Structure 1
Amino acid sequence: MMRVRLEAAARLLILLSIGGMAGAAAFTHVHDLTVAHGQPNWIGWANAVAVELMTIYLGLEIRVRRRAGRPVGFVAVLLVGFAILSLAAQVAEAEPSVWGWIVAAVPSLAFLALVKVVLSSAPVTIAATDNEAPAAANDPDPAPVTVDPEPVQDRTPVVYAPVPASRPGSSTVLPPLGVVHPARSTGVAR
């Protein structure tokens, strides 16, 4: 169990490191390209935030829509468009050579790859230990397991009211208030 937690912590640290550095480089390239083409500094940062965070948001939106069974076509087109904008900014800032373009594209591609990996990963489940490994884990084609539903039971809570002390000389014992004897009629007037 400790090994699983250490691996998860290492993965998170690597993810944050690569994502932070790749995101910073991608932000900087979009900012610099915006400023180099006549926009003020703050608009350069606004463009960088819009382009880079929009790819993350659109990836999340696609995930939500798929879970809900809704169409993702338009959102996927937008995601591709913003990814191309980010990649174009990286390449435009590069030295005009094949290696310059490849090296400049790395931050954007790494950032997009991390977003894809994180958004497409399955929910975390705790793996069984060796002692608890299920028998069906070794079966390549396990038969479906059917579970008979439990019979529905009346789960109405029984509320017992305090029983008043009986009067001396009275031999009749009545059930507590609110409890109806099964053999008696429920239409008793009070």
Structure 2
Amino acid sequence: MTERTESAVRLLILLAIGTMAGAAAFTHVHDLSVAHGQPNWIGWANAVAVELMAIYLGLELRARRRARRPVGLVASLLVAFALLSLAAQVAEAEPSVWGWTVAAVPSLAFLALVKVVLSNTPATPPAPEPNQPPTDRYEMPEQATTDPEPERPADPVPPAAPAPAVVPAPAAVLPPRGVIHSNRPHVVGIIR
């Protein structure tokens, strides 16, 4: 089996399990909402909100990991919405250990899929293409070059020590372009 075929089979299995787990979880959330006094359309709205929020949070978590941004809040919300879906499924089950276990399978399958998909996120961002300037540094303005001064006769006074070289600050210390700092005064109004 080629790598491309294997990837296609994995994607089909992922979509099939995700669709079935989502449909079961969706139905349980809807049925539980309706059983506890919500109108039918609100039951559907609850199901859409819970299930799509979990999917969105999984995608957001992956995007934040790629961008190396904090994921704590998103991961906590993902677990909370998955637990809410799990609770709805268990509440709709036959009140027995096997009933609860079987009812929990869709949510557990969804969580397992999220974990597997997120574990495939590359640990390091892709390297920049050759001949492309790095994106995390400021461009240093080119210093104007002047013609060398003509040589003068030697003065009896010794020359002053050369000025220390200016070393640019690392990019991590400099703020990103376009960021407005709250501690800097800004002029607002019409300039005439």
Give the TM interval when normalised to the shorter protein.
0.5 to 0.7
Over aligned residues, Cα RMSD in angstroms? 2.0
Q: How far has the Cα of 1:121 moved from its partner? A: 1.5
**Greater C-alpha radius of gyration:** 1
Change over 3 Å in CA distance of 1:25–1:122 after alignment to 2: same
User: Equivalent residue for 2:156?
Assistant: none
Alignment correspondent of 1:39 = 38
**TM-score where L is the length of structure 2:** 0.59
1:49 is matched with 48
Shift of residue 71 of structure 1?
A: 2.1
The separation in 2 between residues aligned to 1:8 and 1:43, in whole angstroms, is 39
- Kindly tell me the number of residue pairs found equivalent between the two proteins: 124
Per-residue Cα deviation, 1:45-97 (whole angstroms, up to 9, x for no partner): 11111111111211222222233332222222211211110110010000111
Give the aligned partner of residue 157 of structure 1.
none
1:112 equivalent to 2:111? Answer yes
2:11 partner letter: L
Does the 8 Å CA contact 2:24/2:106 hold for their aligned counterparts?
Answer: yes
Q: Look up the SS of the partner of 2:51 in the other structure.
A: helix
Q: Please give the alpha-carbon distance, in whole angstroms, between the structure 1 residues aligned to 2:66 and 2:5.
A: 30
Identity of aligned residues (%): 84
Gaps of 5+ in 2: 123-129, 132-192
2:14 aligned partner, one-letter code:
L
Please list every run of 5 or more consecutive structure 1 residues that lacks an aligned counterpart in the other structure: 124-148, 151-190
